[in-house]
Every structure is written in C-alpha cells, then in structure tokens.
Structure 1
C-alpha cells in the first residue's frame, strides 16, 4: 500500500490542499503504508523553485514526513516513451485546431442544442491532410481517444461513482509545444511508482474516470487503484478556498503563531463525524478513519482552529514550548503565561511585560490609589505571600476591594486588562520593575 501527495509549485500551500496532504499522510501511516511527495513541476511557466521549497518546509513543519521525493520534471524521458506508445496504438491522435476554431465549434454545438464536447473531427484526418498542415507550420496538440461507455469505482468516501466517458471531450494530454499535461503524467507516475490508493478532492471525480481509462490503455487492470474523493473544503462564507487566499496559507498561519499539530488535528477531523480535538501525531495516526469523512462539503472555521490552538498551547510542556520562548525564559515564566496565550506570536508580549518595557495606560482617576500602592509596596525579599500581603494592606488603607482594587494594578503593571495571575507575575517582575511601572502609571 502506497499513497502520494502531488502539489504543483505554483503557489504556497493553503489549508485546502494541506487537508489533502494530512489525509494522505494519516491514511498511509494508519495502514503502515509508504507516503510519497511528488512535485508536479512540468509547467515551467508557472512553477517556481521557491514554491517547491516552501511546500517542503510547510509539510515538514506540520510533521508530515515523506518516504520518497520525486520531481516530475526529472521524468520527461519516461513520459516521452509512453507518449510514443500511445501514439503508436492510436489512442493519442494529433489535432490542429486553434483555440479560436475550438471555441467556434463549442458555440455552434451549444446553439444546436448539443453538448459542447469535442467532435473528434481530427480522427478523420488523412495522412496527406496532416502532412499539408505540418508543411504550413501547424503543430498539433494531442488528444486521448476515450473509450465508449462508463468507468465505475467504489469510492472510500463517495461510495459508488460512475463517469460517462461519452459525455466528455477527449482530453488534451500533450500540448502543441510537447509539454505533457498532469492528467497523463500523473497516471504514468502512479503506475510506475506503485501507488495503490489515491486520496484527493471531489473536483477530480470526472478526471478519475478519464485517468482510469488512460491507465487501462497503458495495461493496468480496472481495479488497479483505490480512490477516495474528499468533498471540497469551503471558506467561512461557503466559497471555494483558493491558493491566493493568503490569510489561509500555511506560511501565514505559521507566522501568526499557530501550532502545527493544532492544524493537523483540525484538518484530520473537519468535515467528518469526529469532533476536532487536540492530538499528538501518534494519536492522529491511530484515530484516522477515512470512512468517517462526510460526503458533504465542510467549512473551514478559523474560530474552531484557534480554540484548538489555545488548548494545545495551554497544555504544552515547557520542553516543547522552548522553541517559542526567549532563550532566557524558564519553566516558571511559561507556566505563568501559557494559560493566556492563544498564539505563540503573543509570547514575546508577555516576556516584555515581565522583563521588558511597556507603556501603561493613563488612569487619572486612580493616581492617588496607585501612589498608595507604591507607598505600601513591600520591601524585598519577596515570596509567595508578597502579593497577598500587599493587596491586603492596600485594601485596608484605600477601602477598595474587588475590581476597583485589582484592575488599576493590573493596568499599571501589565498594560492589559486581563492576563496571567498577578501574584505570579509580580514575583517574576521583581520590586525594581514594579516600582518603575507604578511611577510611570502615576505620571501617565
């Protein structure tokens, strides 16, 4: 058993195609299978090396470790060999129509009430006609002659699927410049590389019927592959996710401070009968069941992902959190702030609160109280009871209690109206910094 993820290096991975990468990886590992990363880089006009590098970085960051790595651009000789065999068998045939001519044909068929599919006119081309076309400088593109009838398969998600080939235009598999298209290259790769299970988006269902026909033309058995088509992942408004939806690119989510396992945990469960929950990779692999994926489209809910990320960070041990922390940070600091961190990008702010510089908000109505707080601040050394002793003394002197007692102190010491427990932060900040913060707040 072997699965693959085959992205094109034409943009950054976003959560839509990351969901497919997660599904392939977890399904493979759950079944003890191999996982191949194949870069579909035959389109040199759109593909860029930096995107290929970003794909590898994103998948590694998510923890999706591949067993093999292949670039389609390194297999052009193999593709040329298969193309010649399909030409010799008559399944690939040359077509000389221009895009203008094809558009005119489609419009004419639509006006006549016919399906706008290719009419196979070039199958009737004689050798002499082809020679004259080539002599006039025309270069053909090559179409695959589809079989009659339908192609059916039992899908692991969609159940029984059927594609009527006679209702589809013979697909162009080789452009006029000789460039092979994905539809053929993918089939050749899947056959050569021993792929057994193909997990991809629902938008490939028709393409799957075509590719089964191509595979059979190359000598494969009808049941050579097992397919699973996942319904599309929609955005929060019900629209289709796009590679250009930069806010949902993995690169952006990483920069925003989301944990990779929060994303994996969410994408493993979204659109399934299983509720999303924070998991380790081993737990995600053990629990993954593709039969739980719904046939209906799912919506990507950023609020739900952020809630998962919050839980993941709140439970993250110090050793695992070190990659997010300043080198000087210790376990006490992490345990103090982790309950108030939704994204790892927020951690530097709390480090500044404890050890750096902040600008407290102006509290003119509480200046007298803050002066009382400064005057009653205990001398060092400080211990676990310092906060309690200090606030009890303030309470007795000022007559304040509850929010009116604690909120001005929180604002003065942290610049925030919510956050970690002040009795812990006080010990981390120390008396000198606490005095400076109170003085700044009084003068603000």
Structure 2
C-alpha cells in the first residue's frame, strides 16, 4: 500500500496542475430507471454479524483489538447475533424488496478441527441459505471473508504451504452443498485488503505478501472451475476494494491475473479523493466516518472497470457510508441521501452504456467492523454494546431503499443531493479531465 499511496500523490500533483483548466461538470441530467432484472441487494459477512464466534484468526485479532472496558472478553461477543436471528434479518431484506442477500460461509464454524465437521453448523448454513431462497432472494455466497480456523492460524495461515489445499478441500464441499441453489459466488473478499489485514495483525510476515497473493490467485482459479463443473451457468467473481487512483495498479496483483476466471467484475466502492478532499487518510487512522464519500466517484469506478474489463458485467458487491456510533457525519451527508445519490450515478452509468448488473448495500445492520463497533454502516441501527435486546432500528435509508427497489431507481426527476466533485481523483486523471456530464 505505501507504493500505492506514492502513486496517488504523483497523480494528485498532476491533477492539481491541471485542475484550473479541467472541464467542470454541467447541470445533472435525468437518469433512466434501471431494468427489471437489476439486482438490488444487501451484504454482510458471517464473522462480523453472527456472534458466538469459534476459534479463528479473526477471533484472536478481535481479542487483541478489544478496547479497555469492553463487555466482550473476546472483543466481538454477540455482534448482532445473526447466527440466531437470521430469519428476522432475511425478513427485513425481503420487506425492502431485495433480490440478493450476500452472506459468507464461515470455514471456522464448519471445520473447527482438522477433518472434523460441526454438523450443527452445517445445518445452520443449510437452513439460512434455504431461508434466503424461500424469501424470494438469490443468495450471494462468499467463500472466504478474511476468516480461517484457528488450527490454520496455528500452522501459519497463508504463509503455510498446506493452506491452499486445505482451503480447496473445504470449499469444494461448500460448493457441492450449495450449488443447487444457483447462488452468485464470491471466492475471496477484497484480496489486497485481506493481505494487508493479515500483515497488520501479525498473521503474515510482510515479506511473504507476494506468496499469499499467489496462493489466493491459485485457489480462486481452481475453485472457479469446480463451481462451473457443479453449476455450468454459475456467476463467479471476487470483489476488489476500490482505492481511488491506484486501483489499476492494485488489480495487477489479483484481478488482472484471474480475468479469464471472472463471470463479472465485482468491486466495493466507499471513499473518494479530490484536490480539496484529502480526508481518505482518516481510514488509516480508524476514523472512517471523516473520510469523504462523494457518490459521483462510483460513476468513475464503473467507467474505469468497463474500460479495463470490456465485455464483463459489473456488480457493486459493497457500497455504503460510515457514521460514528450513528451520530450525524461531520460533512452532514445523510445515509438516505447518499444511497439515492449512489443509485442516481448507477443509473447514469447504465444510460451511458456501462453494463452494471447489481448493487449491494453494506450493510443491512450495523456490525463488527474489524476491530470496533464504532463505525456504523447499517440500514438498521443495532446498539451492540448498550442494548442487550439487539433491537433492529430502521434508519431513514430503509424507506429510501424500499422505494428505490420498487421503482428500479430514483426516478427521472431526481437530482443528486450534492454536486459532482469538481476534480474527482477516483479514476485519475480521466475522472478529473473527463468529468461526467
């Protein structure tokens, strides 16, 4: 990542020199509705929502990261207790008119010891996936959302040469079990972010970063073929964490190496950068709610991937906006407005001929955000640390998303609540020199 940020600085300097002559976006245009087959969804991961977590690399990391005075000795505790409340949450997604519900199938639950299954946890996932199907939604199943069993951690995690085969042995069984539901598949969640978190928390020596990436590429390619043997019409991808300006360089480490094993390009879009909005560094300081989230940047991410992966449909696997413990953001941006703005720019991308097939909001409920319950991304607020009942409290974005799903967009008369960025650096330099009209 340091190299990536150096690249960002260079591009930023170039754009600062050209910003005075860059074309300034004109008034916003109407955005036609999206087609009836557009996939509206919500997303979550098992470890972040399930609670009562078994031993894993991330249960160990969470314990290390637990704040003094935390009510949870293991750092995560109940989370939002999706493990026992999944039917309730699936019902909430159904009530909004969602078509896709993204979850992860947690290896640490299913194989707590080498070669030893937990039959109760297999039954849980069977029932949970069936509940999604019965609710009229399509499951999107993530095979690896950064979590592996404690016994894999004891052997060295992705630094150990045995991990890829153990991973494949287990994930083939997951695919065999759930392929009949014809889910959308995500093999590895945000591979480069996965790598960085492993290094950050001591799960991987920094010098072995290229080894882990090679192994993630290898397991993706192999499990892709296995999924297609079980379900020839399957749609399989990974999801890149879109980092403004430097994403093409980051994609050389994973996405470019598996482009022949992608049925669509999945990516996650959260934060933006411009010459006057440099707050993205707040993410590194664990103050994500202060990072800029200009929605028009999503358009440039679409355009970037459409140009670099021609012929591949695009799917936003995650997008959303953090607040600090549910309080108003310092920039005043509200969740419902941000959601509508993201959808507007998605409609504009489709109108401009970019093949966008779906969008998932992260997340249905607040959850454990990899070290803290402070960042809130939920359509539904859940006060994990202060409310033992874990009540799901709807934000204004719930009604907004319900209307969006019913209308397949924000309507032809909608205009973004915020103007487009004057010189966006999301896909610089073109996002600055060729702004969307």
**TM-score normalized with structure 2 length:** 0.27
- Could you say which structure has the greater relative contact order, defined with CA pairs below 8 angstroms and 6 or more residues apart? 2
Structure with a larger share of its residues in helix = 1
**TM-score normalized with structure 1 length:** 0.26
Larger Rg: 1
